Amino acid sequence: MVSSRPRPRGLAYFQGMPMTQPARDSTPTHRYTADLAGEIELRWQTRWEQAAAFRQPNPGEPGFDATKPRFYCLDMFPYPSGAGLHVGHPEGYTATDIISRYKRMKGFNVLHPMGWDAFGLPAEQYAIQTGVHPAITTRGAIDNFRRQLKRFGFSYDWSREFGTIDEGYYAWTQWVFLRLYNAWFDEKARIARHIDELVAMASRGEAATPREWGRMTADEQRDFIDSRRLAYRSEMVVNWCPKLGTVLANDEVIDGRSERGGYPVVRKPLRQWVFRITAYADRLLQQLAAVDWPESTKAMQAEWIGRSEGAEVDFAIQHPETEGGSLRVFTTRPDTLFGATYMVVAPEHPLVAAVLAHPAPETDVAALRAYVERTRSRSDLERQESKEKTGVFTGVHAINPGTGERIPVWAADYVLIGYGTGAIMAVPAHDERDYEFAKAFGLAIRDVVYPRAVLAVRYFARHAYPTTDPGPHWRDQMAEFMTLVAASGEKIDDFGHWLDVALAAPHAGPDKKGRAASHGAWLETFDELGFTSFADVRRRFEEASYYGHHGESYDGPGIVANSTNSEVSLDGMEKADAIRAVTDWLSRTGRGHGKVTFRLRDWVFSRQRYWGEPFPIVYDGAGRAYPIGEAHLPVRLPELADYAPVESDDPQPLLAKAAAWVSTTAGQAGVDPALLPPDTPVRRETNTMPGSAGSSWYAIRYCDPGNSRRFAGREAERYWMGPSSGGGVGGVDLYVGGSEHAVGHLLYARFWQNVLFDLGEVSTPEPFRRLFHQGLITSFAYQDHEKHLVPVDEVDEASEGEFVRRATGERVTQIVAKMSKSLKNVVNPDEVIAEFGADTFRLYEMYMGPLEASKPWNPRDITGLYRFLQRAWRLGANEETGELKTAPQPDGKIERLLHRLISKVSGDVERLSFNTAIAGMIEFTNACVAIDKGSGALTSDQLARFALVLSPFAPHLAEELWSRLGRSGFAMHQPWPIFDGAMLKDDTVEVPVQVAGKVRGRVMIPAGADVKTHETIALADAKVQEFIAGKPVKKIIVVPGRMVNVVV
């Protein structure tokens, strides 16, 4: 049954309704319509493809022009989903196409490729849902994506296209893995080196080994080497998703659930392949200064890397099974050591397992075991952000090395095993989380740092009345003391002087007139702090429990107190001095040492799924790993009919199902005979690489994708990615993609690039010189009164701006939300192109707002850009006859406007300010239309130059105009038009004229006119003469080009 309510006009594309256009039968025959746009666009796309118009030769290839500068412009290549593109995808692609086309016209060799990030979990999940093998669904999705992208007319060099699933590509992904496997990080030189160099150094006694190299067994030597590799195996606590049947990286887990599918994730130990990215933490942090990236992205990476300076401190443990043992912690505040009143270990800490195996007398084994189990289901992020503080006392005590006191050790999930040592010294007086935990469980709180004001109160409490009764006016005297201290500056060694002054002065009673405002303010502060009794105030500081009574911790700057033992005293020191002093004492006494740590964890690189790159690794019967020889790459992914994951708490790699593929011999697998005899039975690695493997180096491969001998030819890589002749950092000249990849893909790619640079494989340590994030294109969605989302196709627009649920008539609220299939608010670009053409689509997405801003998709706004192209078309084409129309003589005003347009668009494109460039073109076109009397406003030369300016934005229409003008070649291959700076200046300027201080008129003055000319033109103006009205003119003040002031 058809609804009687009006269909929602703003939801046309969601409802399958075409946008309103002029009736086709009333349209002039040769008007620019969607039909004509489609005809023009397909014609020029065919010609471009036939002429290989976007192909860019490499150095040494025919057609390469070595005299031109290079410009490498790269999109974050897409994952080809089965659903195809939605209108959010082409935003960044359109932007890079405009700048690429512009740079070609400016005389650059432009590398602008496209390909497919096709391995990984999304493709595999889609295949499982559809029941079609991922090899088939992914290829089909790629074909659809390619078709859609080509329909936009993007100037990609399709000869460089590849997908991460291509054997010719993932063979080199496996090669890069082996380069990391056969490398180690030299801490002294701060670079990666080949593993053979480590062996040579160890044999010469130049590397620190457990014992003399020659006395170590072969197995011991191998264990040592394996422990230093950049790609190594380790049992690590990982994010395991039973439903997906795989390990997930930290950036793939959101609020304890998988980013893909929203399934629960648990933490569990698992043996994995891991990359030693932490070795590069400092370099990855420092090199951010050299790249032209958004500051917000740099900040995100810096926070993710999380560099912290502090000290490692050893606390002796009192537990029968750890006799003589200690619990090591890392702290950024060793100056607060004397304030540590308890310790906390992560539930995954080895101490907890040891206590569960050998409980202490005070251990509640059942509670501790239950707590450990409960923590397994919580992600690191959840544990850090949780407001509720939970924990269990382990029954174990430690000795604070500063105070010598026995303090309890708790297990709590707000401490993470992956950060620092997985254990902390808790200083509740000076850490918010520790404070909340101490309050929740009744643990001691000891002050060890005071800001100057609190330190002054402490001084008064300890020294004001050592032998006498404070009397009834102690509060006033303390307020007087604090007033004097506050006014005296930052010193603390003058407290004694001000105390004497305050105690000697007459007390300021409550009715005393003229009492200082600050004095009264201090009394109010004492009330807020509950200072009702001097004995109570003194007791708080004698017991170092001021913050325990205060109700919150203090973590700001201040002076150390209550921190003295027989070997060291920190009292009276500021933070930096105290840190140096205590770190020196810890080091001197063997209780600790200075340390720099990072939040960044090593990169877990194994997945238990099918659709990914196989590892080029096999294992012998003892479980020893051996690399496949490079000549035997790629290790091909076996065909697997059953690729559905096994939902289990016990990880089961899917490739284990391919029994015939898994079991082989060293010779058949391609292991170097020098490492393992060829007939040795081996088993292949059954984990696969994560989706981030192929995307971590694809920028390099695009430099030379057809090279079968090397992952990229050295000359091609150096040309496209090496530092410029002027120096500076190399890498992709412009990389455009979403900010959601800041701490995943962008960090991983930088790590691989740094390693390959150290090993001499690439010419620059950074992969992306300039990075730009396009904003999110959102769409309208709807909520009912309970904030529940309502699918778009269930909503009607009852009246202007008012929306209702069709089935019930209930009012709903229009909101802006991310496009999603569940909301049915995804817009298919194919429909928009069919309705308006690709050029209109391109212009609309660039005109919506600044490229970096999030913007809502609104179909109503598309028609404005459609009409602009119709006007642009009419500048050169007669809509009735289709014949070319041009003016016989140039209009001076139009010529000046055209020069200004060229200047404006040039600058705007360089700044990626495409919306303002389009606004300039619209303004220019409107000016031309206004003076067009039917025979054309632009001469042939002017129309040609305008077509060139339009070409990067609406390339199909521009090519059509260029061709109709009889010009040879493609418009996109022509030099960018130049402008005359002199033409940018106005012939005349508008100048306000004041009479008796008020603006009474405005006159046009020739640009650069002298003072006399200003006076003559101003006095001749009729409006000015009205206000002078025969009065004598005393003087005329002229600011040339700015103002004329007539004084009467």
Provide the residue type at 843 as one letter.
Answer: L
* pLDDT for position 512: 46
What is the helix (H) or strand (E) element at residue 257, kind and residue range? Answer: strand 257-258
Kindly give the residue spans of alpha helices, DSSP state H, lying in 974-1029.
Answer: 1011-1020, 1022-1028
Tokens of 67: 């005299």
Beta-sheet pairing, 603-604 with 617-619: unpaired
CA dist., res. 847 & res. 319, Å (int): 69
Helix (H) or strand (E) holding 269: strand 266-275
Q: Euclidean distance between the first and final Cα of the chain, in Å?
A: 80
pTM, full prediction: 0.85
DSSP-assigned beta bridge partners for residue 780: 816
Of 874, 920, 929, whose CA–CA distance to 897 is shortest?
A: 920
Rg (CA), the chain: 37
Position 1040 scores a pLDDT of 92
The pairing of strands 326-331 and 307-318 is antiparallel
* Residues in the chain with pLDDT values less than 70: 1-26, 251, 320-324, 379, 381, 506-516, 726, 822
CA distance 758 to 764: 9
CB 37 within 8 A of CB 838: yes
Q: CA 345 to CA 410: how far, in whole Å?
A: 6
Which structure tokens are listed for 676?
Answer: 């393992």
DSSP readout, 848-887? SS-TTS-EE--GGGHHHHHHHHHHHHHTTB-TTT--B---
Question: Which pLDDT belongs to residue 516?
Answer: 61
Distance CA 756, CA 751 (A): 9
Instruction: Give me 775's structure tokens.
Output: 């904003």
Question: Which residue in 276, 272, 248 sits closest to 181, CA to CA?
Answer: 276
Write the pLDDT tens digit of every residue in 767-795: 999 999 999 999 888 888 888 888 888 89
pLDDT tens track for 143-182: 999 999 999 999 999 999 999 999 999 999 999 999 999 9
> Using H for helix, E for strand and C for coil, what is the string for 703-765?
CCCCCCCCCCCHHHHHHHHCCECCECCCCECEEECCHHHCCCHHHHHHHHHHHHHHCCCCCCC
Question: Phi, psi (5° rounding) for residue 645?
Answer: -70, 150
Q: How far apart are CA 866 and CA 38, in angstroms?
A: 13
Query: Which pair of tokens denotes residue 427?
Result: 């200083």
Half-sphere exposure of 32 (CA within 13 A, CB side): 28
Quick one: which of 945, 938, 952 has its CA closest to 979?
945
Q: Which residues touch 803 (CB under 8 Å, ≥6 apart)? A: 8, 782, 795, 796, 797, 811, 812, 813, 814
